[in-house]
Amino acid sequence: MRTSTGAMPYALVYEMEAITPIEVEIPSLRILVEAKIGDVEWVKIRYEQLNMIEGKRLVAMCHGQVYQKRMARAFNRKLHLREFKAGDLILKRILPYQEDNQGKWVPIYEGPYIVKHVFSKKAV
């Protein structure tokens, strides 16, 4: 079971729980025909199964929303907003892909640069 959704991935994709051949709690159509269960009873059983699946999907959706909020809260807890003003020294991070990659000793920052102006929305 996934903690993020609270449901098995198979159940979310195929709209039913995975059934092993030994398991006959939710019989297949072939088993129902062999057991000579009537059409009305089969429709009733199938309708109950579909209602159960929709309930599980709603629960999984709620679990997903709670999981996303928890991950956002954990991310925002580690986030440190930095305010810059004119005259501050900053370093610029070098993107990881470089054609002349020199291994782990290559610098990951370049600079320092002097902040000349801070624009709206914290752009420098």
Higher pLDDT, 26 or 52: 52
Amino acid (one-letter) located at 87: G
Per DSSP, the three-state class of 111 is strand
Please give the biggest Cα pair distance in the chain: 85
Give buried/exposed letters for 14-37 (b at 16+ CB in 10 A, else e): eeebeeeeeeeeebeeeebeeeee
Higher pLDDT, 50 or 24: 50
Domain residues of the chain, as ranges? 9-78, 89-122
Q: Can you give the pLDDT at residue 97?
A: 66
The pLDDT tens digits of the residues spanning 51-107 come to: 777 788 888 888 889 999 999 999 999 888 888 889 999 998 887 766 666 677 777
Question: Which range, of 20-24, 31-35, 80-84, 94-98, averages the lowest pLDDT?
Answer: 20-24
Q: Can you give the pLDDT at residue 68?
A: 92
**Is the pLDDT reported for residue 21 higher than 90?**
no
Q: Can you give the pLDDT at residue 70?
A: 92
In this structure, are residues 84 and 91 in contact, taking their beta carbons and an 8 Å threshold?
A: no
